[in-house]
């Protein structure tokens, strides 16, 4: 019937159903097939002594049923997993492996990665093949009372991705909260759009398993074809839409919403929900619920939500991101949103100084300083932007300093700064400003710079544009003047 979450792991209860579990871009599996595949992978890894070192396993791929099966196999084995999408450059994958000390990578793509720093299991076309590059030392340590379930590696301000550690307690708190507050049933068909390495995608990954429901994964080709997506949603009778506001906007503007009458709930998160989009969804899907959700990776997928009604749309120009919550004790202090509850991460992997700054305990319960500005008004929580260099762009969390740090490694770059151009607190474009070491116009090659960045950074972090300048404007503190850089960019053609 379903995989049910308990205090230790997802445990296989009754999965004899022939109902669809996952529709991947590789193949579909029923619940009984899903259960058998999870058991088969667990047995294979244990037989070959590939798990048990205590280090996380990389689950690598893109929108495949095998990726979901691999995640659930890791949960069943009690092994932390790190979802990594195939769009990530190999150099970034290597950094994640090095940071997490991962000694195993489950590769669900047709292409071998051959990364010497770890062992690789290739799982494609139903066959499992092992490529061993290093010895795995099994541990006999007593398991933690609150083991890590997964890690998500996000953009880091120092140029290195940082791993957010989410434990059993946090995942359990999340699924129980969603089960309590959302009217989901085992009949749901969750529609996934985001990459599986994007933490919001784990909303549907966990909830479909908790409920014994169904999950539709949309591959890259479908992502750029509203007609193909519509046909796929119709085919599997998708009921729960999960995406960023940007994706919903791009999709709905093509006018294929007449095919999506079976969707009963839109859940949008990852960035600011524009008022105009909320109006459009409510008018075109008047029988469906619209939910706006908020939560950084450090707070287990989402930490607040609110149903957006016509009354809210009429009353507020800025769409709220949540309500006063009796489940999590979230609050605003000195204008900053502070998240406090069992959903909060235990911290970043091997980042003690940063953990001391961002995490702590209140009455024995974890809290996280988000860095997001917000305010409560009429018991509703409103997002007011950020003051630092962390931005959300198309749902992805990006540290602008990470882009600049990679650019600064180029021998002809004297200094670089990366800025986000916003409209109504929504990031519309990312631009890197480059001060050259000399006035050599032959070095102002945007294609070369983009190609260089793509070696280390995923595509969504590559700036939309670049501006080459002779001298970096500074503020009174001797730092780059970001406002002046924005003005320089807009006046570059004058």
8 falls in which pLDDT band (50, 70, 90)?
very low
**pLDDT 10s digits, 468-490:** 988 888 776 667 888 889 999 88
Q: What confidence tier does 492 reach under pLDDT thresholds 50, 70, 90?
A: confident
Measured at the CA of 466, the angle between CA 463 and CA 467, to 5 degrees, comes to: 150
Residue carrying the six token digits 């979230």: 330
Instruction: Convert the pLDDT of each residue in 380-393 to its tens digit.
Output: 999 987 767 888 88
Burial of 376 (0-12, 13-18, 19+ CB in 10 A): middle
**Mean pLDDT for the stretch of residues 394-401:** 86
pTM of the model: 0.85
**Cα dihedral 7, 12, 18, 24 sign:** positive
- Strands of the 81-85 sheet, one edge to the other: 127-131, 119-124, 104-107, 57-61, 81-85, 148-154, 162-167, 347-348
Ramachandran class of 71: left when φ > 0, alpha when ψ lies in -120 to 50, beta otherwise: alpha
Q: Are 394 and 87 in contact (CB under 8 A)?
A: no
- Return the pLDDT at 328: 83
Q: Per-residue pLDDT tens for 58-99? A: 999 999 999 999 999 999 999 999 999 999 999 999 999 999
CATH of 390-490, one of 3.30.70.920, 3.40.50.170, 3.30.300.30, 3.30.2020.10: 3.30.300.30
For residue 4, the model assigns a pLDDT of 45
The answer to whether domain 2-380 has CATH 3.30.70.600 is: no
- The whole-angstrom separation of Cα 420 and Cα 164 is 24
- Chain segment 350-375, per-residue pLDDT in tens: 999 999 999 999 999 999 999 998 99
- What is the 8-class DSSP label of residue 291? E
Q: Which residues have C-beta within 8 Å of that of residue 84, sequence separation ≥ 6?
A: 58, 59, 60, 93, 96, 153, 197
Q: What six digits make up the tokens of 406? A: 């990679």
Cα–Cα dist 177/173, whole Å = 6
Q: How confident is the model at residue 9 (pLDDT cuts 50, 70, 90)?
A: very low
Phi, psi of 465 (to 5 degrees): -155, 165
pLDDT at residue 305, as a whole number: 96
Give the whole-angstrom CA distance, residue 289 versus residue 312: 13
Asked whether this chain's domains 2-380 and 390-490 adopt the same fold, the reply is no
Q: What is the pLDDT of residues 246-271, one digit of tens each?
A: 788 877 777 666 678 899 999 999 88
How far apart CA 417 and CA 435 sit, in angstroms, is 9
Q: How far is CA 397 from the centre of its chain?
A: 8
For the cut 60, the answer to whether the pLDDT of residue 2 exceeds it is: no
* Phi/psi of residue 108, nearest 5 degrees: -100, 10
Confidence of residue 13 (pLDDT cuts 50, 70, 90): very low
Domain extents in the chain: 2-380, 390-490
Instruction: Please give the DSSP secondary-structure letter assigned to residue 474.
Output: B
């Amino acid at each position: 019937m379903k995989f049910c979450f308990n205090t230790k792991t997802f445990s296989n209860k009754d999965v004899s159903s022939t109902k669809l579990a996952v529709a991947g871009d590789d193949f579909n599996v029923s619940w009984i097939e899903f259960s058998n595949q999870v058991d088969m992978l667990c047995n294979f890894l244990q037989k070959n002594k590939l798990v048990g070192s205590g280090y996380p396993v990389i689950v690598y791929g893109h929108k495949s049923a095998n990726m979901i099966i691999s995640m659930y196999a890791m949960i069943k084995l009690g092994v932390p997993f790190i979802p990594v999408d195939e769009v990530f450059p190999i150099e970034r994958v290597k950094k994640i492996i090095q940071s997490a000390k991962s000694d195993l990578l489950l590769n669900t793509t047709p292409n071998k990665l051959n990364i010497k720093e770890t062992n690789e299991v290739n799982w494609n076309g139903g066959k499992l093949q092992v490529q061993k590059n290093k010895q795995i030392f099994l541990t006999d340590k007593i398991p933690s009372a609150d083991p890590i379930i997964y890690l998500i590696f996000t953009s880091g301000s120092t140029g290195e991705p940082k791993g957010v550690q989410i434990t059993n307690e946090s995942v359990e708190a999340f699924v129980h909260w969603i089960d309590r507050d959302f009217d989901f049933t085992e009949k749901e068909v969750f529609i996934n759009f985001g990459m599986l390495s994007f933490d919001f995608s784990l909303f549907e990954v966990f909830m479909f398993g908790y409920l014994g429901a169904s999950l539709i994964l949309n591959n890259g080709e479908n992502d750029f074809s509203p007609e193909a997506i519509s046909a796929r949603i119709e085919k599997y009778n998708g009921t729960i839409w999960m995406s960023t506001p940007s994706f919903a906007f791009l999709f709905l503007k093509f006018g294929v919403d007449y095919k999506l009458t079976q969707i009963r709930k839109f859940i949008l998160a990852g960035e600011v929900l524009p008022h105009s989009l909320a109006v459009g969804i409510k008018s075109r899907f008047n029988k469906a619920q619209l939910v706006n959700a908020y939560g950084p990776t450090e707070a287990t997928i989402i930490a607040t939500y609110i149903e957006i009604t016509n009354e809210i749309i009429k009353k507020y120009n800025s769409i709220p991101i949540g309500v006063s919550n009796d489940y999590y004790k979230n609050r605003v202090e000195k204008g900053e949103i502070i998240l406090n509850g069992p959903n909060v991460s235990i911290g970043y992997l091997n980042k003690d100084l940063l953990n001391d700054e961002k995490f702590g305990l209140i009455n024995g319960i974890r809290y996280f300083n988000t860095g997001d500005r917000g305010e409560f008004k009429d018991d509703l929580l409103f997002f007011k932007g950020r003051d630092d260099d962390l931005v959300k762009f198309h749902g992805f969390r990006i540290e602008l300093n990470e882009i600049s740090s990679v650019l600064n490694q180029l021998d002809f770059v004297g200094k670089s700064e990366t800025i986000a151009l916003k409209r109504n607190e929504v990031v519309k474009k990312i631009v890197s400003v480059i001060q050259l070491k000399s006035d050599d116009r032959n070095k102002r090659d945007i294609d070369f710079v983009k190609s260089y960045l793509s070696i280390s950074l995923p595509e969504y972090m590559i700036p939309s544009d670049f501006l080459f300048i002779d001298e970096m404007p500074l503020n009174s503190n001797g730092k780059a003047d970001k406002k002046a850089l924005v003005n320089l960019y807009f006046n570059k053609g004058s």
